[in-house]
Structure 1
């Protein structure tokens, strides 16, 4: 007999206002859970997360203990899930909830790099940890040796096939942030200006205004103003129009737990170039038949500070029609291999005890 469905309360950071992967995941998870018949309340928690002030952590403890915003409790009870960006830097709040018999789950998008001593306490106080990528789960297990770590990969919405452009149009969908390393991408593009192409950096320029100024200065220094457009943050049809025109996308973050723009690109039949050694490789491999490295719908490039390896990959793709067609066909195949958001919601629901346990 199917166990009764719990109600779910999801606490998310209120200080991340740009269109981040975590925000997209959280909103899509809520929609997926509701399609499964789960009553869900998503509650924004104000604070300078991931650590916040002592007052903000105190308010979080009160929030976890009070049940404020909890949906009407059904037969399956109410399960609280806290975004890792809120929970990982606030162990006192998590420990207080555990001591009161109200252990919340943690939905962890990426490890808390700067405060592992806080993270281990917070995660140890949780009922369990749900990571949004295998790479994040492996890192958490490596760092802390936790046993109750589960994975619920991001889903992907069905999308129309991209038509592409002439000359080839390259897009990078990520907020302008130092970790996303748009500067190395511009450095690589500056080395292939003898070939025809155009490009766009699509993402918020408000998340780190100083870095956005560096990106603008680099555009001018490289003389790329006529080739590369800073599109700002786009959503809805405006973003779809960009995908429709694209021939390749790039995500060259220094650190990436997964990289949802990778699977979003593949959903449109667009191959992707990512940085080797990051979780974006895991996302890219979702678009390849299991174990078939030769069928990757794009490439993982080993990068440090020198843009030359990325420039070499771009040059090979731009100058070789056969390679472009090979990657395009691999991306088309990959579209059918991507999980949907209903699968993500089911993984989460099964993990917190609201469905049939997974194998």
Structure 2
């Protein structure tokens, strides 16, 4: 019997233009699902999400209510969690949509209504799933962790025992990512040799990006820190290749895709304790961890102290680097993410006779 094709529509926000973790996840998931034999339609929806205008929500409602019979609609939580009325109307019309949750939103009441109306919720991290379950008492929550693509091993500036250590912080220039605290920590280390690149979109919050660049001047870091904006292609790969330590100290993070992108290149990572990035740091399994989670508030001293320790302790650098390289082969690929999504959706019903096509993709190592 020829398997029936599963048709899946992925509704994603069109107003997030920068290379966010959510955008990367959504695009990689769509490719992974197609590779497994699903018929995937990605539907970018422009608007002021989360929340959106009345016209934005009208267009969402049209998408949800026009779902082909037997298809599955998966809506990014940035859209769905702020549009409970549209999710409820779709469910009442017999077209309940799934929610793909990257990050919980502040409006608990509207988020809870949207999730109660959904066919189910798929979270992109265990920490997000636990938070949502505690918030709303839901039991229809699945977890599909991010994968990562194979990547070359980063040479790093210290690979041969010479050169200046290089930090890399890949994240949009946004207050939540707390590059301001990072710069304050680095300013306490100016007597040591190092360089740093803060790489990410400077258009998502232009005022904050400008303030960060002014801070580089104010803190006397011009010779050590560059803020080139968002990089892609060869320019980004060159930065990855030169990196010795990756930094992600966001105040809130559901997972932190850049953490496993770093680990895929054998680059250890420092993350903020208490965020979902801690989960990502352990993605490769094994001990010791390829980096460390540091407790942070508004004082940069704990981060500065840890970075000073790393800069001055060759044995620590070697342990973290060896752990990152050892875990590369254990990182899941995006095929695993796609297969998990299909298994979750399938547990709630799929077209008769459908089964995923065997994938040739392997782990990210």
Map of 1:40-51 to 2, 5 A cutoff? 40-51=40-51
Is residue 294 of structure 2 the alignment partner of residue 301 of structure 1? Answer: yes
How many residue pairs get aligned? The number is 344
Q: Does 1:259 align with 2:256?
A: yes
Which 4+ residue blocks in structure 1 deviate beyond 3 angstroms? 1-5
Q: How far is 1:237 from its partner?
A: 2.2
| CA distance in 2: counterparts of 1:55 and 1:31, whole angstroms | 30
**How far apart, CA to CA, are the structure 2 residues paired with 1:2 and 1:350?**
19
Q: 1:2 Cα shift? A: 10
Deviations 1:137-172 (A, max 9, x none): 000001000110000000011111000112011000
**163, 168, 176: which one aligns with 1:171:** 168
User: Which residue of structure 2 lines up, in the alignment, with residue 159 of structure 1?
Assistant: 151
Contact 1:288 1:330 in 2 (8 A): no
Return 5+ residue gaps in structure 1 as ranges.
none
**Counterpart residue number, 1:38:** 38
Alignment of 1:98-117 (within 5 A): 98-113=91-106, 115-117=107-109
Mapped partners of 2:235, 2:327: distance in 1: 24
User: Unaligned 5+ residue runs, structure 2?
Assistant: 158-162, 357-365
| 2:304 aligned to which of 311, 321, 329 | 311
User: Which residue, out of 276, 281, 285, partners 2:278?
Assistant: 281
What is the alpha-carbon distance in structure 1 between the residues aligned to residue 19 and residue 273 of structure 2?
24
2-structure distance, mates of 1:242, 1:2: 47
TM-score in terms of structure 1 length: 0.93
Moved more, 229-238 or 256-265: 229-238
Q: Does 1:136 find its partner at 2:128?
A: yes
Instruction: Report what 2:179 is aligned to.
Output: 182
Is 1:228 aligned to 2:225, yes or no? yes
- Does the residue aligned with 1:130 lie in a helix, a strand or coil? strand
The answer for the alignment partner of 1:64 in structure 2 is 64
In 2, the alpha carbon distance for the partners of 1:5 and 1:128 equals: 21
Q: What is the SS of the residue equivalent to 1:220?
A: helix
- In structure 2, relative to structure 1, the CA distance for the partners of 1:238 and 1:327 (3 Å cut) is same
Per the alignment, residue 94 of structure 1 pairs with 87
Q: What's the CA shift for 1:287? A: 2.5
Deviations 1:105-150 (A, max 9, x none): 110001012x111000001100000000001000000100011000
User: Which residue in 2 is equivalent to 1:330?
Assistant: 323
Contact 1:135 1:258 in 2 (8 A): yes
Which residue matches 2:236? 239
Pair 1:54-2:54 in alignment:
yes
> Secondary structure of 2:12's match?
strand
Deviations 1:281-330 (A, max 9, x none): 000011232xx4xx110000000000000000100000011110110000
Cα deviation for residue 250 of structure 1 reads: 0.2
Tell me how large the CA RMSD over aligned residues is.
1.4
Partner of 2:138: 146
Separation of aligned partners in 1, 2:222 and 2:249 = 21
The residue that corresponds to 1:126 in the other structure is 118
Alignment partner of 2:122: what SS? strand
Write the distance in 2 (CA, Å) between the matches of 1:269 and 1:216.
29
Q: Distance in 2 between matches of 1:157 and 1:287?
A: 14
1:216 equivalent in alignment to 2:213? yes
How many Å separate the matches in 2 of 1:27 and 1:328? 30
Rounded Cα–Cα distance in structure 1 between residues aligned with 2:2 and 2:275: 38
State the TM-score, normalized to the length of structure 2: 0.92
- TM-superposed CA distance for 1:336, in Å, is 1.5
